[in-house]
Amino acid sequence: MASSPPHPATPPGDHAGYMSHALQQARLSPPKPTNFRVGAVLLDADTNTILATGYTGELPGNTHAEQCCFMKVAAQHNIPEEEIGSVLPRNTMLYTTMEPCDERLSGNRTCVERILGLDGAIKVVYVGVLEPETFIGQNRGRRKLEDKGVEAMSWVNDGSGLDRVLRHAAGLHSASGPIYPCLAVRLSNT
């Protein structure tokens, strides 16, 4: 698979490092009143190789960060996005700064549907925060992933600057209230 070399600044299993890389991607997303600024990293955990990165609005078509990662892998292999599960390594992990969506106002396929459509290639999704109810109400993305056997690990704000970046992710939505990181699961460095 044509991909990036191993990430030089992030040792294998350094979940904080990969979430930081996803947060860097989120910063690239242009602020708009109609979406959150989200970043994602798709990783081959066996080789510590970043397969793709993405951020909200990076590619044409009202794209989400996770969707951009998948579209890039599809383009690398010249296959439809729906077929990338056949080329992704079996130990692929997804780091995303916000819970994958389970509803899209645009009518586009949701990020949860995209993840579940990958034939089990992604078994773990690291989530920065649950999606606030700003646009669609309650997002059940994390629960839907877990119901189908995909582990959704929550990030713990350990003073690493996540609060600052999450405020940045909210961009123009600060009036809608604070965004609180999930505190359910502490990530290990293994």
Give the domain ranges of the chain: 16-176
> Exposed, middle or buried by CB within 10 Å (0-12, 13-18, 19+), for 150?
buried
User: Residue 151's pLDDT is what?
Assistant: 87
Task: Note if 81 is an active site residue.
Answer: no
Distance CA 65, CA 27 (A): 12
pLDDT band at 155 (very low <50, low <70, confident <90, very high): low
Selecting among 66, 81, 131, 146, the annotated active-site residue is 66
Strand, helix or coil at 43?
Answer: strand
More confident position, 33 or 173: 33
Of the candidate CATH numbers 3.40.710.10, 3.40.120.10, 3.40.140.10, 2.60.120.560, the domain formed by 16-176 belongs to 3.40.140.10
User: In which band, very low, low, confident or very high, does the pLDDT at 11 lie, cut at 50, 70 and 90?
Assistant: confident
pLDDT of 90-125, one tens digit each?
Answer: 899 999 998 898 887 677 899 999 999 998 999 999
Residue 180 pLDDT class (50, 70, 90 cuts) = very low
Residue 124: how many other CB atoms lie within 10 Å: 17
Give the pLDDT of residue 15. Answer: 85
- Residue pair 53/21 in contact by the 8 Å Cβ criterion: yes
129 vs 127: CA distance, rounded Å: 6
